[in-house]
A and B are shown apart, each in its own frame.
Chain A
């Protein structure tokens, strides 16, 4: 008998939960201003999430998925990507979307039930949030194939959760990405829970990163609560992808401190003790501790940042709440490039029901 294949999965952590450097700091991390920006982006994301949950609880927003505790995955990703790359997010990557120019107002419109929330004024080629889990894997392969066929030095990034790695179409996308050496980076935002199903019952694989090995490309793990490690790993994977080196899967190990969405109650299936323990590893505290220790962050900075984030979020909420709904006929506007005659009749029928309704309140 002889061995025909072996594999190893690397794990990278640079800042430990106490903010101590336990790995090699990448070049960008030597600039305190860069790290402060990453911290600001994470704090803003947390402020946005808290406000969005509050809006939902008071009936002013639909179901919402908070990224509480997972901010480092999205912010590290958003910082690593180039403007010309394309992001295909799942539904918990708001931190990355904000860094790419998606506005808080747009995401509030989306979760508030308005299609205009996915008509991003900023990153025009980025895909909208993908609700059917993992179904955007094949889209990312298509975007990456487009880059490859045109010979462009761009990469597509597909973010999926731990649950999505069990899905067939995610594997189909990974398999094809391997075959074609596509410029595609898969980020597994592994928060330990697929609604109520824990990671251990999702897959018997030791790591989710090793699923890339079956598809013929490298997979690695990073501490997903360490924004420096996340950004460093993704910058490297993206550079390799843009240079023709093929796909990479980066499994970011994090933890969902929130409910799955506002429609979920995690106390039904998850011990409070587990959540409390995980609060000690969350991503903001460790980076702040590091910055404070390095003399790059103080109490005034923190206070100013919190006030600034509140101001930004409040302004976005105001703009969202002030946006009147589209007229009902808007559902016909973008069904096809040109509305087929048959559907024009249905549009007219809708318009007639509006005329018949009593216009007075």
Chain B
């Protein structure tokens, strides 16, 4: 048992899954001897060999389609995309094939697979490296979209994703790849998919977020606590399918909700949560549901990205507004 970072937890889960099941393969660009651009696959090549850790030519559409074929043949491929910005050619495969193969063959062919990609801003990366476009995938039937927010949840959720018999898009918050350490026991225990995690209990306000923004959201809860406001913090973790039960139960107690995500505001997953609160939680609500999100602009290059990403101050301000709503 030791304290490890989120990216180390990803590697630990990959190694665990590979040693438990010979069918688990790791494929992608530079995942072999190089160990991945973020080192998420470091040492796997040495440990499991070139037949299990497979470097692919630079061809992102192939990555996802290859996983469909491998999955249909009984393997459990884990595909690494270097950055979310390069994943879009694969949407064709995820939407047209991975998400529907089971249904269109009435269960005859299935394609268990995990598509891993680092997402999000805040690391001063070049153009196209900082977007947060999880909602594009959350609209696709037949797949799960999972985003961890801590080393322990990254380990447990990735194990669950690899063991799941269906495709999972697993988005890794690269801003916090190495920002915090946590004790993670390599016990092979999967965390539940399709469930939110309540990170902090409180009855005055519900703060809902996921991924890297959990950091600012928890900081906002701390700031509010200093003023005597007890905020509940929910890490959504699985964005599709969405565990609205946990969110609704929290809002039933608090009556107030702020949703925080760094993805653009319009048609983001926050919009779905807000709509569901309006639909199923209206009688619990004491104030409007607020979203603190990225703007509907092009994600700015690093000099301005801090102004795009929701800050703790923006979350606290939104929380205060709805706390004062009478």
Restricting to A12-61, which residues have a CB under 8 Å from any CB of B? none
Q: How far is the CB of A327 from chain B (nearest CB, A)?
A: 13
Contact call B241/A341, Cβ cutoff below 8 A = yes
Q: Which residues does chain A contribute within 8 Å of B75, judged by CB atoms?
A: 146, 149
A334 within 8 A of B: yes
Q: Report the bound CA distance from A334 to B108 in whole Å.
A: 10
Q: Identify which of A125, A168, A336, A340 contacts B102 (C-beta below 8 A).
A: A336
A173 within 8 A of B: yes
Which stretch, B9-17, B60-68, B177-185, touches the partner chain A? B60-68
Contacts known (A132-B92, A169-B92, A173-B65); A146 close to B74, Cβ less than 8 A: yes
Contact call A138/B56, Cβ cutoff below 8 A = no
A175 within 8 A of B: yes
A261 within 8 A of B: no
Q: Report the bound CA distance from A68 to B109 in whole Å.
A: 29
A128 within 8 A of B: yes
What sequence of 0s and 1s flags, for each residue 153-184 of chain B, a beta carbon within 8 Å of any chain A beta carbon? 00000000000111000000000000000000
A137 within 8 A of B: yes
Q: How far is the CB of A148 from chain B (nearest CB, A)?
A: 9
B126 within 8 A of A: no
Q: Report the bound CA distance from A119 to B104 in whole Å.
A: 8
Q: Report the bound CA distance from A120 to B56 in whole Å.
A: 32
Contact call B65/A138, Cβ cutoff below 8 A = yes
Q: Report the bound CA distance from A173 to B89 in whole Å.
A: 14
Contact call B62/A340, Cβ cutoff below 8 A = no
Contact call A128/B72, Cβ cutoff below 8 A = no
Among residues of B, the one whose C-beta sits closest to the C-beta of A137 is B65
B59 within 8 A of A: yes
Q: Identify which of A115, A172, A175 contacts B106 (C-beta below 8 A).
A: A115
B229 within 8 A of A: no
Restricting to A109-140, which residues have a CB under 8 Å from any CB of B? 115-116, 118-120, 124-125, 127-128, 132, 135-140
Restricting to B79-116, which residues have a CB under 8 Å from any CB of A? 89, 92-93, 96-97, 102-110
Q: How far is the CB of B221 from chain A (nearest CB, A)?
A: 26
Among residues of B, the one whose C-beta sits closest to the C-beta of A331 is B103
Q: Report the bound CA distance from A335 to B140 in whole Å.
A: 11
Q: Report the bound CA distance from A331 to B104 in whole Å.
A: 10
Please report the number of residue pairs spanning A and B whose Cβ atoms sit closer than 8 angstroms: 139
Q: Which residues does chain B contribute within 8 Å of A124, judged by CB atoms?
A: 108
Q: How far is the CB of B44 from chain A (nearest CB, A)?
A: 16
B242 within 8 A of A: yes
A143 within 8 A of B: yes
Q: Report the bound CA distance from A116 to B66 in whole Å.
A: 25
Contact call A172/B72, Cβ cutoff below 8 A = no
Name, among B67, B106, B164, the residue most crowded by chain A CB atoms within 10 Å (CB to CB).
Answer: B106
Q: Identify which of B92, B141, B142 contacts A135 (C-beta below 8 A).
A: B92
Contact call B97/A135, Cβ cutoff below 8 A = yes
Q: Report the bound CA distance from A204 to B55 in whole Å.
A: 32
Contact call A342/B244, Cβ cutoff below 8 A = yes
Q: Identify which of A175, A333, A336, A342 contacts B242 (C-beta below 8 A).
A: A342
Q: Which residues does chain B contribute within 8 Å of A127, judged by CB atoms?
A: 72, 109
B71 within 8 A of A: yes
Contact call A146/B73, Cβ cutoff below 8 A = yes
Among residues of A, the one whose C-beta sits closest to the C-beta of B102 is A334
Q: Which residues does chain B contribute within 8 Å of A335, judged by CB atoms?
A: 102-103, 141-142
Restricting to A127-182, which residues have a CB under 8 Å from any CB of B? 127-128, 132, 135-147, 149, 156, 168-169, 172-173, 175-176, 179
Q: Identify which of B66, B92, B142, B242 contacts A142 (C-beta below 8 A).
A: B66
Q: How far is the CB of B160 from chain A (nearest CB, A)?
A: 13
B228 within 8 A of A: no
A205 within 8 A of B: no
A337 within 8 A of B: yes
Contact call A132/B96, Cβ cutoff below 8 A = yes
Q: Report the bound CA distance from A156 to B70 in whole Å.
A: 12
Q: Identify which of A143, A340, A342 contacts B69 (C-beta below 8 A).
A: A143
Q: Which residues does chain A contribute within 8 Å of B252, judged by CB atoms?
A: none
Among residues of B, the one whose C-beta sits closest to the C-beta of A143 is B69
Q: Report the bound CA distance from A66 to B66 in whole Å.
A: 29
Contact call A139/B105, Cβ cutoff below 8 A = no
Q: Identify which of B57, B77, B141 contacts A176 (C-beta below 8 A).
A: B57
Among residues of B, the one whose C-beta sits closest to the C-beta of A147 is B73
Among residues of A, the one whose C-beta sits closest to the C-beta of B242 is A342
Q: Which residues does chain A contribute within 8 Å of B92, judged by CB atoms?
A: 132, 135, 169
Q: Identify which of B61, B103, B105, B165 contacts A138 (C-beta below 8 A).
A: B61
B227 within 8 A of A: no
Q: Which residues does chain B contribute within 8 Å of A173, judged by CB atoms?
A: 62, 65
Q: Identify which of B25, B93, B243 contacts A342 (C-beta below 8 A).
A: B243
Q: Which residues does chain A contribute within 8 Å of B110, judged by CB atoms?
A: 337
Contact call A175/B59, Cβ cutoff below 8 A = yes
Contacts known (A132-B92, A146-B69); A138 close to B64, Cβ less than 8 A: yes
Among residues of A, the one whose C-beta sits closest to the C-beta of B107 is A334
Among residues of B, the one whose C-beta sits closest to the C-beta of A149 is B51
Contact call A138/B194, Cβ cutoff below 8 A = no
Contact call B104/A128, Cβ cutoff below 8 A = yes
Q: Report the bound CA distance from A340 to B62 in whole Å.
A: 29
Q: Identify which of B59, B72, B105, B165 contacts A143 (C-beta below 8 A).
A: B72
Contact call B66/A138, Cβ cutoff below 8 A = yes
Contact call A175/B57, Cβ cutoff below 8 A = yes
Q: How far is the CB of B24 from chain A (nearest CB, A)?
A: 12
Among residues of A, the one whose C-beta sits closest to the C-beta of B109 is A127
Contacts known (A119-B108, A149-B51, A337-B110); A139 close to B102, Cβ less than 8 A: no
Q: Report the bound CA distance from A144 to B72 in whole Å.
A: 11
Contact call B108/A138, Cβ cutoff below 8 A = no
Contacts known (A115-B103, A138-B64, A172-B61); A340 close to B241, Cβ less than 8 A: yes
- A–B pairs, 5, beta carbons within 8 Å: A135-B93, A138-B66, A138-B69, A176-B56, A341-B194
- A142-B73, A336-B166 given; name 11 further pairs at CB < 8 Å: A119-B106, A119-B107, A135-B65, A137-B65, A139-B68, A169-B65, A169-B89, A169-B93, A337-B102, A337-B166, A341-B243
Query: A-B pairs with the 4 shortest C-beta distances?
Result: A142-B69, A138-B65, A146-B73, A172-B59
